[in-house]
Amino acid sequence: MQLYLRSRLPGQPPSLLQYLAEMLGSLLPCQPHAALHLRGASSSLRPVGEGLADLVGNTPLIRIRSLSEQTGCEILAKAEFLNPGGSVKDRVALEIIQEALAGGQLEPGGLVTEGTVGSTGVSLAMCAAAYGCRAFIAMPDDAAIEKAQMLQALGAEVQRLRPVSITHPDHFVNVARRRAAEQPNAIFADQFENPANFRAHLKTGEEIWEQTGGRVDAFVSGAGTGGTIAGVSCYLKQRRPGVRVFLIDPPGSSLYNKARERVTRGVMYTREEAEGKRLRHPFDTITEGIGINRLTQNFTRAQVDHAFKGTDREAVEMAQYLLRNEGLFVGSSAAMNCVGAVKAARRLGPGHTVVTVLCDGGHRHLSKFHSPAYLAEHGLTPTETGASLDFVA
């Protein structure tokens, strides 16, 4: 191209390509604001960052066109799968480690432990390495195998355990807690109870507020630790109390009941549902990372106005819907969040702006949520086609 578009010598007749190039140059102003711009990646770039920490957060807020057109609302989603570790948990891991280092609880060379189904572990292993620390991750053995493989690739020590009640000493969270207590210069990240989780997502809420210019009517999210919905809801409602916050809860989780108890009766949960009283084993759902049968300190900070129940079928169909209509390949919790966004849009009515979170991508869910064989085994093979949202109840 350079051969044909360079300036010709004086008196030299122009070639056809040179002539066309010069004509186009006279028609297209060279000022940046008038240049031809195709829709796609933003032309604005961040300044030079300082290592891994500066890559976390400030994720794009994208409009999901198909969901918006079908509901009459603007449905926007935080693309948290674009964090360097591939999930929203990068924010939490970074905040926990930075606060521990600043407070003297952890020093370089130390150990960070956690019990997690995978995404937080990946983020902790990555962030720990960035600060010269090590990671130990305990996880249930029914979590997607690729999450454990990712952790091992990042240098973390991984222990997979049989799923048991949180009250059992061999629950994966309790195993991780003991490991940190057994040695010096070690911290248990404690993502469920650590308020650093909540604080990390105050920044997420601030980003949403700035990216929408304050024009946000509702926020929708599932909850596992409760940090995302707590931090975002508190920030948005501080800026505008009228912002509505909706919880979407998967099968078997009791947060739906707890949230509705708080909204309708002024309490968060009944005495019978208090933590430590319910001894049931983890619930059976295809979604990972959201849903829980106990209250966490992070979730108690959440300002939830209403709660929806979601189904495995809705989540599976939504994941395929987003891939089919948007080219977005998302994980199970992100798909469930979008189910919740549709339910919230229908409840509010057309003309509102609803924001949710795409927690992670689908590449960590290939052995279960995105496995045709696994879905068929559980009677969840997706059947919907086109852009209709009839599969959302």
3-state secondary structure labels for all residues of the chain: CHHHHCCCCCCCCCCHHHHHHHHHHHHCCCCHHHCCCCCCCCCCCCCCCCCHHHHCCCCCEEECHHHHHHHCCEEEEEEHHHCCCCECHHHHHHHHHHHHHHHCCCCCCCEEEEECCCHHHHHHHHHHHHCCCEEEEEEECCCCHHHHHHHHHCCCEEEEECCCCCCCCCCHHHHHHHHHHCCCCEEECCCCCCHHHHHHHHHHHHHHHHHCCCCCCEEEECCCCCHHHHHHHHHHHHHCCCCEEEEEECCCCCHHHHHHHHHHHCCCCCHHHCCCCCCCCCCCCCCCCCCCCCCCCCHHHCCCCEEEECCHHHHHHHHHHHHHHHCCCECHHHHHHHHHHHHHHHHHCCCCEEEEEECEEHHHHCCCCCCHHHHHHCCCCCCCCCCCCCCCC
Which amino acid type is present at position 88? V
Which residues participate in catalysis according to the annotation?
89
CB 112, CB 134: distance < 8 Å: yes
